Amino acid sequence: MFLKRIELQGFKSFADRTVLQFDQGVTGIVGPNGCGKSNINDAIRWVLGEQSTKSLRSGTAMSDIIFSGSEVRKPVNLASVSLVFDNTQRIFATDFDEVEITRVIRRNRDAQYLINRTPCRLKDVTDLVMDTGLGRDSLSIITQGNISSFADAKPEDRRSLFEEAAGVAKYKKRKKTSLAKLEATQANLERLQDILDELE
Ligand code: ATP
């Protein structure tokens, strides 16, 4: 699985439809300060469900990521970003050679998500990417801040990053959720026993 293409329109500095093609292997994005390199990174995380405008380096409303105009261009009313992945190895659990995940937002409206151009919920996107190592909290995108915090991290925090990268973290999270459910069920059983004891 690899990212083949990003299509952006109206997202931050990308007022016009812009298509970036990627190949297998390492891709470097270079350009002068402020040309929009980090906005591409933001766009990827946005499609994958990022809900924090702060981590998208944007204003308080999610619609602030829509191109807000420049000296020579009027603002636009819609932002849309699509990520197109090669799925010939069926890493995504779907029977298509290409998987296209899209997020669209219009001013004063909630965002919409689409998988292969079919409208879906954020949860469907999250579920689709969950076991691929691509989730919005995964380590598939490493920012400059991540690197310095990794270098400065305490050993136990660094260990949790290794666990995330090795795919162990998700099982730990599932174990924690299951244990919490077990505990709740145990409490319910005890409560039920109390009621039964009272009735007898
Ligand atoms: P550097 O090399 O300095 O880190 P960069 O290439 O990563 O820069 P970005 O941070 O991706 O640059 O882009 C910054 C540009 O994006 C700024 O010119 C900013 O005005 C523009 N920008 C951000 N949000 C919007 C928006 N909603 N509408 C229009 N332009 C925007």
Domain spans, the chain: 2-134, 142-200
| Residue-wise pLDDT tens digits, 62-109 | 999 999 999 999 999 999 999 999 999 998 888 999 999 999 999 988
In this prediction, residue 18 carries a pLDDT of 97
Domain 2-134 falls in which CATH fold? Answer: Rossmann fold (3.40.50)
Q: Is 32 annotated as a binding residue?
A: yes
57 half-sphere exposure, CB direction, 13 A CA radius:
15
pTM exceeding 0.95: no
| Residue-wise pLDDT tens digits, 111-131 | 999 999 999 999 899 888 877
From the CA of 36, how far away is ligand 1's center (Å)? Answer: 5
Percent of the chain residues past pLDDT 90, beyond the cut: 66
In this prediction, residue 34 carries a pLDDT of 92
**Does 136 have pLDDT greater than 70?**
no
Of the residues 18, 35, 62, which should be mutated to test ligand 1's pocket, given the most ligand atoms within 8 Å of the CB? Answer: 35
| Residue-wise pLDDT tens digits, 160-199 | 778 777 778 778 888 999 999 999 999 999 999 999 999 9
